[in-house]
Structure 1
């Protein structure tokens, strides 16, 4: 069996020490650091890149999303100031993980990136609360709108399982799971898995 390639990462941050610290932690955990930048300059090399970590300063979110458009690259945002509006914008843009600088540790960095590479989302508890508030204001969901299969997939998403794990647990193909997730996001009017889980949790569906 061919060994799985180590996930590749590009690190963007305004402080060299932060970049070097992240790089050391991730390389020790088995990631391949492909490059570094400040303010997304020089422009990250996106070809074949698994994860782009970027500092979500004004304008950076839009540029990062544009760089990743049409690519399988996952986005991870680091933020220095946490606000409800900022969190909402980041999650609505489809970013897989949000890492506040003031609570960032080697363990949370590695755990979050592993979750994102596996296709999951990673949000601190206080940010999930903010997201729940946002979803509650903009979405309405009746439990009868979801079928048994969709509820089962949602529960496993809430448990942090990735597509492969859900497929194995429910005896589905990975393609079926992806189709169910797509239908869920469409039905719930959510852009990300995190939003779907937040909405379903808030409404007592799962």
Structure 2
């Protein structure tokens, strides 16, 4: 355990006090380190490309370039980091756009320190969805405003993979999916990887968006 590499984190927020607070929380946690900071979106892109972190804590509202635009630029590049959007509200339409773009989720700025630490661990591990209840609620709320469109890629999924996609849409972790489908976690990991690959999705959060927008699940039917 002690030989594991620390989770490398970049903090991007235009308020210096917020950055200081986030740095203190992250660096007080064993196995995590802050490798860079940024005060706006332009700087965030440059710092991330230079420092190559595992996780970026990205304020959604920043000068020069907002966090959503910065996130899109980073996610479009090879080997992107996991990005957690920092926000004041959890119902902002920008959050839905961020999830569609491939960010791993969002965190309220008023969240307690232990929730921040857990968020970093969850997205760095990639086996779960950050704050599944809130994330699925935001996605269902915005996706439900439009008629679902069934993309042709859905036909590439096997019945089991479609079943896995439905469990992802409910925000289940790999361990929870394994328990529900009576298979091993390694098998679940393989299924999840194939679902993301076949549907050309970056993350579990994007899989939830896809499931709702394609009509694989309907708002109110995934819990």
> What TM-score does the superposition give when structure 2 sets the normalisation length?
0.71
The answer to whether structure 1 residue 172 and structure 2 residue 187 are counterparts is: yes
Cα distance in 2 for partners of 1:13, 1:202 equals: 33
Cα distance in 2 for partners of 1:171, 1:7 equals: 23
Cα distance in 2 for partners of 1:174, 1:88 equals: 25
Distance 1:202 1:186, change over 3 A: farther
The answer to whether structure 1 residue 45 and structure 2 residue 57 are counterparts is: no
Any gaps of 5 or more consecutive residues in structure 2?
none
What residue number does 1:77 align with? 85
Q: CA deviation at 1:131?
A: 1.2
- 8 Å Cα contact 1:121/1:193 also seen in 2: no
Q: CA deviation at 1:11?
A: 0.4
What residue number does 1:61 align with? 68
- 8 Å Cα contact 1:87/1:127 also seen in 2: no
Alignment of 1:107-118 (within 5 A): 107-118=114-125
Cα distance in 1 for partners of 2:119, 2:90 equals: 17
Cα distance in 2 for partners of 1:26, 1:53 equals: 11
What residue number does 2:174 align with? 161
Q: CA deviation at 1:193?
A: 2.5
Cα distance in 2 for partners of 1:23, 1:4 equals: 21
Alignment of 1:185-196 (within 5 A): 185=199, 192-196=206-210
- 8 Å Cα contact 1:151/1:205 also seen in 2: no
Cα distance in 2 for partners of 1:85, 1:99 equals: 14
Cα distance in 1 for partners of 2:24, 2:192 equals: 35
For residues 67-97 of structure 1, the C-alpha deviation after alignment (integer angstroms, 9 at most, x for no partner) is 3422231111101244442222121111102
Q: What is the aligned residue count?
A: 197
Cα distance in 2 for partners of 1:146, 1:134 equals: 28
Q: CA deviation at 1:24?
A: 1.5
The answer to whether structure 1 residue 135 and structure 2 residue 143 are counterparts is: yes
What residue number does 1:6 align with? 6
Look up the SS of the partner of 1:5 in the other structure. Answer: coil
> What TM-score does the superposition give when structure 1 sets the normalisation length?
0.76
What residue number does 1:148 align with? 160
Q: CA RMSD in A?
A: 3.5
What residue number does 1:106 align with? 113
Query: After the TM superposition, which of the residue ranges 130-139 and 9-18 deviates more from structure 2?
Result: 130-139
Query: After the TM superposition, which of the residue ranges 7-16 and 73-82 deviates more from structure 2?
Result: 73-82
Cα distance in 1 for partners of 2:141, 2:19 equals: 33
Any gaps of 5 or more consecutive residues in structure 1?
none
